[in-house]
Structure 1
């Protein structure tokens, strides 16, 4: 039922009253598009960013603790590869399950449930008595890890206006490489002193979100409006508007936004592979598969490679791996500053080409010192982080609200599928000490991805999400 749009009180400023406007999907979008970043946006970024942070934390937690787990449980190379890849099985399921839940029950419910699983299973891992139990717990934890990121990216995109959306979203998503950096640093300091369990007890923090998230921030107004729950969408958006500084701009004519919402039919999951979206979907799948292949095929192995192949002491191996995360944060911050100016596709493609070059050079110089190899690996992961973080703003922009979370979820599923197989590539070469084949194979993937995105992807910068519907 259409209701009059409520008057908006801009936080700290005078009351700005719009002429009465029926609360339609178009009116909700128009209000989002006039809404500047404010305190509620910051709160959303901080709380949802906590779960995203610990997704990055988990990636490095296994890397930092793996050398000790190998020794404690006398693991074979095959068991090591399985231990790294095991969570990806759960993540593959979670990347499809939680976006489906988000489409039906809401973005915040899905994020809260996934965060609870992440935290609870991480704590349980700290008490695991054996390799088998530890691996099983990480598979279950993977359900939450796989489901949180795509739904979180969907939510953050949906509450953000077109102007400056890339920068806004990427400044939120930078918590992932920061998670990598901090967890590397924390792991390098804590693990040698307190053992491997401390990392997993720290990783239990996201369980708090299960209890507070839905009370602390409003549901996505775009999702509520798309579901026809216009009164709830109005209240959710009013919560954002009430935190704005200064009076909001007049709403004006919303007919153009109403026209956007009525231009295309409601899409279903099968439309991801329809003629309208197949090019975008293939570009997305290749983008996410590349990120998973490199991230899990390389970064989780780095401390073990440095220790096993190059005979570096454990502390040095952990420090060198931590150094790689610094470049990831720097690359991500640079992307956040330029992505709205140069566009999504150029940032992703250039980042992936430079990543491929760095990995190829690591293959050429694999017989040199550990510092040369570590430097090239750090460069490759820094460039990868630049493309990876841009995927979180680019992917949700490519799909309409009705299938946005599922579009992101299928992208995440390809990331996890690649993560299942990538660690075995390195495991098959680590015993011989000749890593050139692994580096060359890894380099091929981002190069092919850059070509795919160049030819099949579309540019999305500066456009309202509903304008991008095919």
Structure 2
């Protein structure tokens, strides 16, 4: 029986002497078949990502009652929605920086603890001001968890089938969005808005479990020259493989690949080597922020106030949009390794824009017509959004990967701060169609940027993609 402490030689390691190098770490990851430790990591970190999605969109299900409870104006509503994004913007820089210094798993555990603790506190918030303050603090964790988790899952996965593996993990985020909307539609009318935030406190448990049950990223450990720790982490994955391990191959090739490029610093994200990728990433994530926060968060309120739909119907229609988001994400996960990252992103964003234009054209029709086009837009957007989580980590080397992903997440949060206010302002002016048209222009711009500035990454080892 294998144990975590097995040596490289016992595992069919990289060399006879058992020396661990950056090249041998990559070679051992690339020979890893699917294994129980990867499944465990995907489940536990997936739980963190699930509740990230759950807590992000909880505000949509509870917003109508919060407006009523505190008599909020449209401006206050916009600020409430944006307040979480302010914290998320800070978190998108803070936790990737912590991940580069202290490790991916620690950063994910810390962010999960903040998410869970502040969610519970939100349920007890006595005033609007306290609630907003707690949402800002919670945003630190919400903004930091996703980019670090995406980085980790990419780093423990081999090139073959990486898109499918990562996206089948990332699908838990839109499932979290769906669960929040679905549970919100049932729980909020029956038990009040507070119950949703108590449920959102579950990630606090992950703070205690993750560092005990999930190994650190071997790639990150190797980059930090912690070769013995990288060996132990790899042993944890290798020990969970059923049956004999395939032989380690191409160590010399991977070794040369590692040393072919200089170690990168954060400033290189804006240097000659990576600036085109960084611009494409910025517009990609901005689109996700504009559509997700500028449209999805407002939908129940739009249906209730503009189309005078009952609260239950407004919440149910939002759930339907989340269902399409999950279906779109699942479809994307199944085809992304065959079609490629860029075609999936570009086509999904163009179709999202078309759906939003149609929602604007037919905005005077019934709530069901508008809800259908909005649901389609969110479904198509979800395809591009989830692909961003496999595509962005592939564009940067290990030394700046988490921060590159965090920077992408920061652009999402910047968009999320301003998009709700834009929609709120157009609602006050009665220009709902103009809001749809403005929202539609954003994914078109992103599709153009990804097409001309991005690179295709499918099927390549992460180190092959370094500039």
Do they superpose with TM above 0.5? yes
Name the counterpart of 1:7. 9
| Residue 131 in structure 1 maps to residue 111 in structure 2 | no
Name the counterpart of 2:357. 360
Contact 1:288–1:411 (Cα < 8 Å) also in 2? yes
Contact 1:8–1:242 (Cα < 8 Å) also in 2? no
Q: CA deviation at 1:142?
A: 0.3
Match of 2:439 among 434, 442, 455: 442
The 2-side partners of 1:277 and 1:284 are apart by 10
The 2-side partners of 1:46 and 1:442 are apart by 34
The 2-side partners of 1:231 and 1:139 are apart by 39
Equivalent residue pairs, number: 462
The 1-side partners of 2:215 and 2:9 are apart by 18
Structure 1: gaps spanning 5 or more residues = 10-14
Structure 2: gaps spanning 5 or more residues = 1-5
Contact 2:13–2:28 (Cα < 8 Å) also in 1? no
Contact 2:7–2:235 (Cα < 8 Å) also in 1? no
Contact 2:263–2:399 (Cα < 8 Å) also in 1? yes
The 1-side partners of 2:381 and 2:78 are apart by 22
The 1-side partners of 2:47 and 2:10 are apart by 30
Match of 1:246 among 236, 243, 246: 243
Change (3 A) 1:5 1:264: farther
Q: CA deviation at 1:18?
A: 6.8
Q: Aligned runs of 1:204-283 on 2, under 5 Å?
A: 204-283=201-280
Contact 2:53–2:177 (Cα < 8 Å) also in 1? yes
Name the counterpart of 2:3. none
Give every structure 1 segment of 4 or more consecutive aligned residues whose post-TM-superposition deviation is greater than 4 Å: 15-18
For normalisation by structure 1, the TM-score amounts to 0.97
Contact 2:31–2:249 (Cα < 8 Å) also in 1? no
The 2-side partners of 1:342 and 1:212 are apart by 37
Change (3 A) 1:384 1:253: closer
Contact 2:342–2:450 (Cα < 8 Å) also in 1? yes
| Residue 47 in structure 1 maps to residue 48 in structure 2 | no
Contact 1:63–1:303 (Cα < 8 Å) also in 2? yes
Q: CA deviation at 1:431?
A: 2.7
Name the counterpart of 1:12. none
The 2-side partners of 1:364 and 1:82 are apart by 28
Name the counterpart of 1:203. 200
The 2-side partners of 1:311 and 1:336 are apart by 37
Q: Aligned runs of 1:111-130 on 2, under 5 Å?
A: 111-130=108-127
| Residue 170 in structure 1 maps to residue 167 in structure 2 | yes
Name the counterpart of 2:418. 421
The 2-side partners of 1:438 and 1:385 are apart by 20
Q: CA deviation at 1:5?
A: 5.7
Q: CA deviation at 1:20?
A: 3.8
Q: CA RMSD in A?
A: 1.3
For normalisation by structure 2, the TM-score amounts to 0.97
The 1-side partners of 2:252 and 2:439 are apart by 50
Name the counterpart of 1:456. 453
